[in-house]
Structure 1
């Protein structure tokens, strides 16, 4: 499901390019369970319990929470995926 278009008027590409998004994994829009902040993070398929799944057809509801840094919370916290950002994924792949 491609839900990349202007999520809350955020610049998802800039969020993904930020070092705080991470370097490895697919782009996921996720909510920090500590502070409730929603940001683009990278998560590997293994981190979200999806193993060999095709990320372009993956639904966020099928994914598990994953640990990632939250700067406002000042440490690693759990993040709940709310969307797989397939548009960003496809643009990275040059599709």
Structure 2
């Protein structure tokens, strides 16, 4: 399993499989160990919707359920990083 310094997280975030709303996180599938950018609602990771996403750490977030295509079904994903840099980029393009 590699964290992948050469990954293009912005490209991953733009894919429909990342989700369409809320904060971008790097998350690891507990089934296959694949790490991908996913979007997650704050409520789905036990956070209040009013919290500032840029102030969060991955350890503040609980696992959430999403589809993992290699696992061929819904699995649990564990956040490993809040991608605050991608949050900043979204604010610039808005």
Normalising by structure 2, report the TM-score.
0.90
Counterpart Cα distance in 2 of 1:77 and 1:15: 18
**In the alignment, what sits opposite 2:52?**
54
| Structure 1 unmatched runs, 5+ | 1-5
Displacement, 1:69? Answer: 1.1
Residues paired across the two proteins, number = 90
Larger RCO (alpha carbons 8 Å, 6+ apart) = 1
| Structure 2 unmatched runs, 5+ | none
**In the alignment, what sits opposite 1:3?**
none
RMSD: 1.5
Counterpart Cα distance in 2 of 1:8 and 1:91: 18
1:82 paired with 2:80, answer yes
Structure 2 counterpart SS, 1:41? strand
Normalising by structure 1, report the TM-score.
0.89
1:8 paired with 2:5, answer yes
More helix as a share of residues: 2
Please identify, of 10-19 and 47-56, the stretch whose mean Cα deviation from structure 2 is larger.
47-56
